Amino acid sequence: MRIDKFISHRGANTDFVENTIKSFEIAKNYGFRWFEIDVQMSKDGELFLFHDKTCQRLASLNSEATEMRIDELKGLEIIHPTLGVKATIPTFKEYLDWAIKNDVYTNVEIKINKNCLSYKNSITIKVLDTLNGYPEMQDKIFISSFSNTVMKFLEQDKKYQKGKLHYTTNWDEDFDYINTTLYSDFQENKYLALIINYECLSQHRLEYLRQKFGKVFVYSAHSDYEVETLLSWGADAIFVDKKEQIHLKAINIA
């Protein structure tokens, strides 16, 4: 599977409300072919695109998204935090219909904001069942999740490639885990790439990770300088918020 250097993170989220069809449309029209989406499951078992645990940030409603029915979620007016533009929450199927029509590629992140084993199992099964209804998307999707439980459930699936998400706040404390347990899991499951946060990295660390894991994708780089720095360090793919960042180049950081 070939991954572009730039992956549109929740769509063009500085231009429109994140995780919406229009945000993806804006990014696609600007040149993006790869998109990252966050998938959750409603109280009545429907998959929808939304990042946060609650609806407070985008809808001024302090309710947990997974505790709402799909009709309640679809009825919400979500608003861009700074631009004030309004949109509605799309279902996973609505996104997949759009993705097929527009011939794009997707990183499906199974977003777990609910610490419940049955929920984690159910959403994993539901995501796979839904994707099975779109066989033409099989080679255009990889799946990821921060939840080790979800990733364990995903081991039963052999159709879709997976990426190994990891977040660290202390490289020195986490190094032994990354170098042993995480690497062993990575090798055993033949993950597509290690997906790690920008804040923990240096050029030396990224070079080490690429040598050990093969491909390394990086998230949480926000400014143009951070993205340019990652390009200089050799990141295999970068999740970007601003559509204009697709034109950035590596800089001399010596």
253 within some domain: no
| CATH assignment at residue 163 | 3.20.20.190
Domain that holds residue 205: 6-247
Q: What is the pLDDT of residues 194-232, one digit of tens each?
A: 999 999 999 999 999 999 999 999 999 999 999 999 999
Instruction: Identify whether the C-beta of residue 200 lies closer than 8 Å to the C-beta of residue 168.
Output: yes
Between CA 177 and CA 194 the distance in angstroms is 14
Mean pLDDT across the stretch 77-94? 98
252 within some domain: no
Instruction: Identify whether the C-beta of residue 20 lies closer than 8 Å to the C-beta of residue 59.
Output: no
134 within some domain: yes
Total residue length of the chain: 254
Is residue 14 predicted with pLDDT exceeding 90? yes
Q: What is the pTM of this model?
A: 0.97
Between CA 23 and CA 20 the distance in angstroms is 5
Helix, strand, or coil (residue 110): strand
Locate 85 and state its tokens: 């533009």
129 within some domain: yes
Between CA 156 and CA 168 the distance in angstroms is 27
Q: What is the pLDDT of residues 107-163, one digit of tens each?
A: 999 999 988 999 999 999 999 999 999 999 999 999 999 999 999 999 999 999 999
| Domains held by the chain: number | 1
What sign does the dihedral 175-141-101-86 (CA atoms) show? negative
Between CA 66 and CA 118 the distance in angstroms is 13
Q: Which CB contacts under 8 angstroms, 24+ apart, belong to 21-28? A: 21/90, 21/94, 21/95, 21/98, 22/87, 23/87, 24/95, 24/98, 24/104, 25/98, 25/102, 26/243, 27/243, 28/102, 28/104
